Structure 1
Amino acid sequence: MAPFLGFRGSRLNLATILLVVFPAYMCFGYNLAVAGGLLTMPSFIEQFPKMDTVNNSSKLNSNVQGTVVALYTVGAIFGALNTIFVGDWLGRRRVIFFSSALVIIGALLMASSYSLAQFIVARLVQGFGTGGVTATVPVWQSEISGSSHRGSHVVTEGLFVSVGIASSLWIDLGFSFIDSSSVAWRVPLVLQSSLSIFAMCFIFFMPESPRWLLGKGREQEAREILGALRDVDANSDTVQEEIGDIHRSLELLHSVGRWEILKMGEKRNLHRLLLGITGQSFGQLCGINTLTFYATVIFEQRLGLGGTESRILSAAMTTIQLVGALAAVLTIDRLGRRPLMLISASGMCISMAVLAGTSSTTNNHAALIVAVVALYGVNMFYPFGFLGLPFLYSTEVAPPHLRAKISGLSNCMTWLFTFVVVEVTPTGFQDINYRYYIIWVVINFVIVVTVYLFFPETNGRSLEEMDEIFIQSNTIFDAPRIARSLPKREHFDHATDSREHNLEEKS
């Protein structure tokens, strides 16, 4: 069989996206929302009465529900953290394979649960696998994508997460019509395993990261992969230049101490770690998982709608995320990373403010309509700048020799704050009601200010080129200004550009 199923250049990049990234991240999105759509089903409540907040509004049940749902993110924290130690040992493809296997095991355990203890263990196992996937796939994809299309390639992850979230809630809706049987919640929980199986089947037909191969001394394999990815000869100048850039970054790796990532140094490693961590933390601190995990609960218990109406609105609300995610894919390499984050956070800030105002009014049909529109607004703005982009940004600002470690730590913060949001949301709604949304208004305003002042633009920069921006920075305020003024190198990332470049050399 021809290497990489016979694909080269842009077709090979497309194959990696459709055959691995798509199922992996669709499964991720599916996992985020599927449990939330089951929490109000009678058959689910009957099986796990301690998680019942429909018939029992006690603080104990709210806390149990929040904790059990959030334990998925606790497992993900440790899964992401684990990649710091095994990512450079096993390689990107093996980590994706084994992490996907854990997702499958967790799904099978959860779907077959007859006790709360088994359900809890299943959430932890599945979370551990998901954390490994989300910490590794962006690194792998960044390291095989060219700089001019890296943004749109990696941000497709956000689009696929949206597809997964929407799919899970539509499936929950369909099975809710037989909610007297446990099949109504067991089948939705096990369906996701097919997506992980698909990714596992194709991951070893796709290229390994050339950077990882060069770090292991496998230069010929790296050359062949770069040649296939850029659709040029493995010994061309284009490949040789990229090999040279990677070698220079790897030379730093051998001199890196255990705590190098926490030191500023010439390349401002700590500064870049904090940017990655902050960006991925903002992806959760904007408050989106208040809506994603508890969409059906919000419509049914907070806005007083019926069960079927709530599930329809929840599924439609998450479907609107596809609009924002698709817009991000189409514009990120044109507008850049900063504008998308600024527009996204501003839109969520305004939508949350409207939601807080309308939710304070009870028994008002007009206010209810505006509240629903505001909920939809948050879900449309969020994926535009904070669904897939933070995963990309943490890999782009990281020094090449510390990328796997920074991505792992940044992903830990993603899952840590997801846990915090999901854990406190049931209690937050119970204790402070509509004022809970005001917290997210304030945080989203802070996000806008922080991105504007501290986040440098990475669009169109090679992963090695970002080093120059931080080497010239003396304070945390300098990087955005230097990124605007520093000239960009020319990169031959398109297959057409590469072929034309080689033809010019030959002539």
Structure 2
Amino acid sequence: MARFLGFRGHRLNVATILLVVFPAYMCFGYNLAVSGGLLTLPSFIEQFPKMDTVHNTSKFNSNVQGTVVALFTVGGVLGALSTIFIGDRLGRRRVVFLGSALVIIGALLMSSSYSFGQFIVARLVQGIGTGATTATVPVWQSEISGSSHRGSHVVTEGLFISTGIAASLWIDLGFSFIGTSSVSWRVPLVVQVPLAILVMIFIFQLPESPRWLLGKGRSEEAREILGILRDVDSNSDIVQSEVADIEKSLELLGTVNKWELFTLGEKRNFHRLALGMTGQSFGQLCGINSLTFYATIIFEQRLGLGGTDSRVLGAAMTTIQIVGALAAVLTIDRLGRRPLMLTSAAGMCMSMAVLAGTTSTSHNQAALIVAVISLFAFNMFYPFGFLGLPFLYSTEVAPPHLRAKISGVSNCMTWLFNFVVVEVTPTGFQTINYRYYIIWAVINFAIVITVYFLFPETNGRSLEEMDEIFMLSNNIFESMRVARSLPRKDHLSVEAGGDTRYDEAKS
């Protein structure tokens, strides 16, 4: 069989997206939302009465429901953390393979649960596998993509997440008509397994990260893979130049020690870690999973709609995320990262403010319609800037030798705040009602301010150019100025005796 299934260049990049990124992130999105559509099913409530908030509105049941649903995110934190220690040791492909295997085990355990304890363990196992996969795939994908298309390639993850979320709720809707049989919730929990199997089959048929290979001293293999990825001869000037850039960056950034991730100095490692962590925190602190995990419950219990109508609207609401995610894929390499994040956060802020206003009054037809429109608007704005983009951004600002670690820690923030949001949402709705939406409106306004003043643009920059931007910055605000002033490598020639970009940026 031809190496990498016979693909080269752009076709090989497309193959990685379709054969690994698509099933991995569709599976991730599916798991984020599938349980939310099952929580009100009679057969599920009968099997797990401690999570019943339909017939029992006590605070205890709300807390149990929030905790069990959020255990998936606790596992995600553990899985993402594990990549800090095993990501650079095992390589990108092995971590993705192992993570997908755990996802399968978790799905099988969860769908076959007859006890509350087994369901809890299954949620944790599946979360660990998903956390390891989602912390590694963006790193792998960004390291094999060229700088001109890296944004659209990596942000497709957001498109696939939204597709998985929508698919889960439509499947939940379809199986809800079965009635009192446990098939109505067991099958939705297991249908994701073929996606994870697809990842395990194809991940070793595709290239390992050339940057990881160079970091391990496997330069010949890295050159060969770069040649195939760029569709040129492995000894061509293009490959030689890219290898030289990577090696220069690795040399400049020195040897790793266990505390280097948290040091600042001229390398500004902690600054870059903080940007990655903050960006991925915003992906959850915007409030998305207060809606996604509990979409059916919001329509049924908060807006007073019937069970079937609630499931239809919940599925349709998450389907609209595909529109926003597709818009991000088509515009990210043209508009840049910052405009997408700013537009997204501003839109979410306004949507939450309107939602708070419409749900604060007694329910009437006009208020109900506006509330539903606000929920749909929020789900369209969110994927435009904060579904796939934070995963990309954390890898773009990270130095090569710390990329896996920074991606792992940043992903931990995604899972940590995911847990917080999912855990507190049932209690938040129960205790402060419509004011819960006001909290998210305020946080989204703070996201706009933070991104505007602190997040440098990475669009069109090679991963090695981002090293230069941070090494030329003296504080958290200066990276914005350097990113604007440092000329792009594609339009410059490197003069003998030094890099002209350093001189121009410093001046």
Q: TM-score, normalised by structure 2?
A: 0.96
Q: Does 1:200 align with 2:210?
A: no
For 1:101-112, list aligned pairs within 5 A: 101-112=101-112
Is 1:428 the counterpart of 2:428 in the alignment? yes
Aligned AA (1:314): G
Matched AA of 1:335? L
* 2:291 counterpart residue number: 291
Query: What is the aligned partner in structure 1 of residue 9 from structure 2?
Result: 9
The CA distance in 1 between the partners of 2:54 and 2:480, in whole Å, is 49
State the SS of the aligned residue for 1:178.
coil
- The alignment partner of 1:464 has SS state of helix
* Correspondences of 1:174-253 after superposition (within 5 Å): 174-252=174-252
Alignment of 1:100-499 (within 5 A): 100-252=100-252, 255-490=255-490
5+ unaligned residues in a row in structure 1: which ranges?
493-507
Counterpart AA for 1:247: E
Q: Aligned with 1:427: secondary structure?
A: helix
2:215, 2:401 within 8 Å by CA — same for their partners in 1?
A: no
* Alpha-carbon contact 2:249-2:467 (below 8 Å) kept: no
CA contact (8 A) 1:148 1:491 kept: no
Change (3 A) 1:87 1:253: farther
* Aligned equivalents of 2:466, 2:349: Cα separation in 1: 30
Distance 2:414 2:388 in 1: 12
Superimposed CA distance per residue, residues 447-466 of structure 1 (whole angstroms, 9 cap, x where no aligned partner): 00000000000000000101
Cα shift at 1:179: 3.0
Q: Structure 2: how far apart are the matches of 1:420 and 1:280?
A: 14
Measured against aligned partners, the alpha-carbon deviations of 1:227-282 in whole angstroms (never above 9, x if no partner) come to: 01000001101001111111123335652221011111112111111000000000
Q: Whole-Å Cα distance in 1 between the matches of residues 385 and 87 of structure 2?
A: 27
Q: How far apart, in 2, do the equivalents of 1:334 and 1:290 lie?
A: 31
- Comparing 250-259 and 404-413, the one that deviates more: 250-259
CA distance in 1, matches of 2:253, 2:335: 33
The amino acid of 1:7's aligned partner reads F
Distance 1:447 1:104, change over 3 A: same
Q: What letter is aligned with 1:286?
A: C
1:503 corresponds to which residue? none
Which AA in structure 2 matches 1:186? R
Structure 1 residue aligned with 2:499:
none
Contact 1:25 1:160 in 2 (8 A): yes
The count of residues paired between Structure 1 and Structure 2 equals 492
- Following TM superposition, by how much is the alpha carbon of 1:394 offset from its aligned partner in structure 2, in angstroms? 0.3
- Structure 1 counterpart of 2:44: 44
Determine the C-alpha separation between the residues in 2 that align with 1:407 and 1:260.
15
Q: How far apart are the structure 2 equivalents of 1:363 and 1:154?
A: 42
Contact 2:100 2:200 in 1 (8 A): yes
Amino acid at match of 2:379: N
Identity, % of aligned pairs?
80
Distance in 1 of aligned mates of 2:245 and 2:78: 32
Confirm or deny: 8 A CA contact 2:253 2:267 kept in the other structure. Answer: no
The whole-number CA distance in structure 1 between the counterparts of 2:227 and 2:306 is 57
Contact 1:341 1:451 in 2 (8 A): yes
Q: Aligned equivalents of 2:217 and 2:457: distance in 1?
A: 32
Whichever residue aligns with residue 122 of structure 1, its letter is A
Measure, in 1, the Cα distance between the counterparts of 2:385 and 2:254. 35
| 1:471 CA displacement | 1.5
Letter in 2 for 1:415: W
Does the Cα contact within 8 Å between 1:323 and 1:380 map onto a contact in 2? yes
Looking at structure 2, the residues matched to 131 and 426 of structure 1 have their Cα atoms a distance apart, in angstroms, of 24
Distance 1:59 1:65 in 2: 10
In the alignment, is the contact (CA less than 8 A) between 1:252 and 1:401 conserved in 2?
Answer: no
The residue type equivalent to 2:306 in the other structure is G
- Give the aligned CA root-mean-square deviation in angstroms: 1.0
Deviation of 1:216 (Å) = 1.7
Tell me by how many angstroms 1:491 deviates: 8.4
Give 2:89's aligned residue: 89
Write the letter of the residue equivalent to 1:97: F
Q: Which residue of 1 aligns with 2:503?
A: none
